[in-house]
Chain A
Amino acid sequence: MNARVNAREAILNSVRSALKRGPLDDTQRAALDARIPQHTRPAQDEDLVARFMRKFESRAGTVERVTGFDAVPAAVEAYRLGKGLPARAAVGAALKDLPWPADFEMNHGAAGIAEILSVSPAIAGIAETGSLMLAAGPGSPTTHNFVPDDHVVVLEASRIVGHFEEAWTILRARAEGMPRATNIISGPSRTADVEQTIQLGAHGPRRVHVILVG
């Protein structure tokens, strides 16, 4: 334990000696803590929803729009049948009260290795890059985002923000604090590690389909 404490002090001291000063005093620390970053945000002049859809679809993601949450189960059902998948999915518990068909088998727990379809709630969409933001929690296990071949994400259109900075504001405002994992997802998994040839479905989902509500 002592060696560990020593390593910490040694590194911090080495940093300070390289900076040719001792530890910062409380006033200096308070000033750094009060700093508010004001970085340039890339300009946007497009409708947020239109931009989100355009960007997300540019990376092989798919998007469909429905009028309300009640229409989500039918959209999931149509997607499932279109891909020829069985009537079963890992579904985030946050979505469990939707009017699902009686014969639709749902797993609200973590996704196991055999899970091939999942339905997750997004807490935000980011128009800047056309990305989804999902927060780990009992209503949205992280394994749902990465294990199945087909990932369906439910996003309320009103939750689409312009820039990443606004998405972070949503995270900071959560009563339960930062989620263990915050996943920004911008399309299906891909790799270009074999001769720079882009191939979808490297390790994560082969397809990501967004159901945009509202």
Chain B
Amino acid sequence: MEIRSKEFKERSVFAIHDASLQQALGKARGGFVGKRAQQAAELPEFEQLREEAKNTKNEILANLDHYLERYEQAVVAAGGHVHWARDAEEARNIILDICKRVDAKTITKGKSMVSEEIGLNEALIEHGMEVVETDLGEYIIQLAHEPPSHIIAPAVHKTKDQVSDLFEAAHGGPRKTEVADLVNEARQVLRDKYFRADVGITGGNFLVAETGSSIIVTNEGNGDLTQTLAKVHIVTSGIERVVPTLDDATLFLRLLARSATGQETETYTTISTGPRHADDLDGPQEYHVVLVDNGRSKMLGGRFRDMLRCIRCGACMNHCPVYGAVGGHAYGWVYPGPMGSVLTPLIKGLDAAYDLPNACTLNGRCASVCPVKIPLPDLLRELRHMQHQQDITPVMQKRALNLWRFAATRPKLYHALEQVAARVLSGISRKGRIRRLPLASAWTDSRDLPAPAGRTFLELWQGKRGQK
């Protein structure tokens, strides 16, 4: 998928004025946050599990090559195939080759963010194959020809009315308006696809080195129908998703659903190990795993290794005020919100996503809920630093920062300027608010600036001390 992160500002403005989007975001906001908080409160060990998860992931990453090799051995022992892809193109070609070899006409897909990352659907469709997303949210946005706007709730930006319209256009009506009827209509349409599918593609939440298994978690059961009924099952997964044992996967599973949707557990946790056995009565005849690097091994080497702990729960975006205001599409690529603002520049290049690390208020809510304790604000600040060092910060911003530095390193000058600013801003304010301010219209166009008290903090402080 084409990256449009450079248009972040334009897309954000558009998003803020999109009434349907704001309605949909408003409905989502409270739900995820409240349910997660409740789950965390109901599990006394929750904070301890977060700490263990962080440490365990760090141990795995420090020995990633070993666990990948062990995992590969176990997959092969179970009769499966492992493919390694350095980048998106290599991953697409591996999957295309498998699909062409089995003469695939219909391909069903469970939710997979890696498949979005590598632009898989477009490639398959270009080669004349029918690709059907089966997760209800993914199905909705496929009909809308849109990318996901959230990593676990891809259609969170759509209202029920919009879904009604999309289904009526795609399925021929009559138009359904109740959620139950909409879900049922998708169920009937997709049933037929599962049974016709030649290839089923799913993601992999965890890859287990001990058994050579891939694990997916879903609520709908779509991933299971996808992988059980197709002749060939292909798993797409990042290389960082490997865990040593089933017990280690359990540690993360205890955090994943609680952090993601605020559930104690998802409805389905499925452990898939190789293709169907000789005496099995169903299941795929071939089982393939495509291990995707696409920039991950490079991340392992530097300041961004922490990011590879990510288990893709979406808690960071659910708690992000910026995401909550503009939604996922403004971010312009596959991964939105705080985790996306770190991953996008690292995978697609610093200059391809300049605004994303800067569109963060450093409020820290994402880090405080991350189940594997990724210091997202620190990583975003580090990216800003790198932007500055690599000279891709816009000229005006650089000049402004240099001016500020000039003043800030000269305390007397700084205090004098502050005193002037405090008096001027106070003077032009009405009832403690400033409605319009030259050079700061980006702020004052959409909200008032609270006016300063007229005197600086230091002046007030010294005044108080004088009173004593």
**A positions within 8 Å CB-CB of B:** 3-4, 7-8, 10-12, 14-20, 23-24, 28-29, 32-33, 35, 37, 39-40, 42-43, 55, 59, 108-111, 113, 129, 131, 136-138, 141-143, 145-147, 163-165, 168, 171, 178-197, 199, 201-205
In-complex Cβ contact of A129 among B180, B186, B264, B272 (8 A): B264
The chain B residue with its CB closest to the CB of A165 is: B247
Q: Does B68 sit at the interface, judged by CB under 8 A?
A: yes
Q: Say whether A37 contacts B274, CB under 8 Å.
A: no
Q: Other than the known A19-B64, A184-B269, what 9 A-B pairs have Cβ atoms closer than 8 Å?
A: A3-B90, A4-B94, A15-B297, A19-B62, A32-B66, A43-B44, A187-B267, A193-B154, A203-B220
Docked Cα-Cα span, A182 to B86, in Å, equals 30
State which of B6-14, B221-229, B420-428, B434-442 sits at the interface with chain A.
Answer: B221-229
Contact assessment for A7 and B90 in the assembled complex, using a CB-CB cutoff below 8 Å = yes
Q: Which residue of A lies closest to B53 (CB)?
A: A39
Does the CB pair B220–A204 fall under 8 Å? Answer: yes
Q: Are B247 and A180 in contact (CB under 8 A)?
A: no
B224/A204 in contact, CB under 8 A: yes
B48 at the interface (CB under 8 A from A): yes
Taking a contact as CB atoms under 8 Å apart, the answer to whether B250 and A39 are in contact is: yes
For residue B270, CB closer than 8 A to chain A, the reply is yes
Task: Please name all residues of chain A whose beta carbon is closer than 8 Å to the beta carbon of B49 when the two chains form the complex.
Answer: 39-40
For the complex, give the distance between the alpha carbons of A108 and B282 in Å.
11
**Contact B187 A146, beta carbon cutoff 8 Å:** no
Contact residues in B for A191 (Cβ distance below 8 Å): 136-137, 183, 219-220
B51 to chain A: closest CB distance in Å? 9
Which stretch of B189-197, B340-348, B458-466 is in the interface? Answer: B189-197
> Which residues 246-267 of B sit at the A interface, judged by CB distance below 8 A?
246-248, 250-251, 253-254, 261, 264-267
CA distance A18 to B195 in the complex (A): 44
In the A-B complex, the 6 residue pairs with the closest CB atoms: A204-B221, A18-B301, A202-B220, A193-B137, A14-B297, A18-B300
What's the Cα separation between A119 and B266 when bound, in Å?
22
* Interface presence of B84 (CB below 8 A): yes
Chain A residues whose C-beta falls within 8 Å of the C-beta of B409 in the assembled complex:
none
Binding stretch for chain A, among B155-163, B382-390, B393-401: B155-163
* A52 CB, min distance to chain B CBs, angstroms: 13
* Residue of A whose beta carbon sits closest to that of B134: A203
With A180-B277, A199-B180: A39-B52 Cβ-Cβ less than 8 Å: yes
A14 contacts across to B, CB distance below 8 A = 293, 297-298
B200 at the interface (CB under 8 A from A): no
CB <8 Å contact, B281 and A181: no
Residues of A within 8 A of B277 (CB): 137, 180
Which B residues fall within an 8 A CB radius of A?
A: 24, 27-28, 31, 43-45, 48-49, 52, 56, 62-70, 78, 83-86, 90, 94, 134-137, 140, 153-156, 158-160, 163, 179-180, 182-184, 186-187, 190-192, 195, 211, 213, 219-222, 224-225, 227-229, 239, 244-248, 250-251, 253-254, 261, 264-277, 279-283, 291, 293, 297-302, 305
- Which of B24, B183, B224, B275 lies in contact with A145, CB distance below 8 A? B224
Chain B residues with CB under 8 Å of A143's CB are 228-229, 281-282
B248 CB → nearest A CB, Å: 5
Complex Cα distance, B240 from A19, in Å, reads 14
20 contacts between A and B (CB under 8 A): A4-B84, A11-B293, A15-B64, A15-B297, A16-B65, A29-B66, A37-B248, A42-B44, A43-B44, A137-B277, A138-B280, A181-B228, A181-B270, A191-B137, A193-B136, A193-B140, A194-B179, A202-B183, A202-B220, A203-B222
- The reply to whether A194 and B136 form a contact with Cβ atoms under 8 Å apart is yes
Residues of A within 8 A of B86 (CB): 7, 10-11
B38 CB to closest chain A CB (Å) equals 13
Whether B282 pairs with A194 at a CB distance below 8 angstroms is no
Q: Which residues of A contact B180 (CB under 8 A)?
A: 199
> In the assembled complex, how far is the CB of residue A20 from the closest CB belonging to chain B, in whole angstroms?
8
A202 & B222 in contact (Cβ 8 Å cutoff): yes
Task: Say which residue of A37, A178, A195, A199 sits within 8 Å of B251 (CB atoms).
Answer: A37
A192 in contact with B261 (CB, 8 Å): yes
Residues of B within 8 A of A8 (CB): 84
List A contacts of B160 (CB < 8 A).
Answer: 194-195, 197
CA distance A37 to B251 in the complex (A): 10
Contact between A146 and B225, CB atoms less than 8 A apart: yes
Q: State which of A37, A146, A186 has its C-beta within 8 Å of the C-beta of B247.
A: A37
Q: Within the assembled complex, what's the spacing in Å between the Cα atoms of A172 and B246?
A: 10
A146 touches B65 (CB 8 A): no
User: What is the CB-to-nearest-CB distance from B276 to chain A, in angstroms, rounded to a whole number?
Assistant: 6
Which residues of the other chain, B, contact A137 by a CB distance below 8 angstroms?
Answer: 277, 279-280
* B27 neighbours in A (Cβ, 8 Å): 195-196
With A129-B264, A195-B27, A197-B179 in contact, is A12–B65 under 8 Å at CB? yes
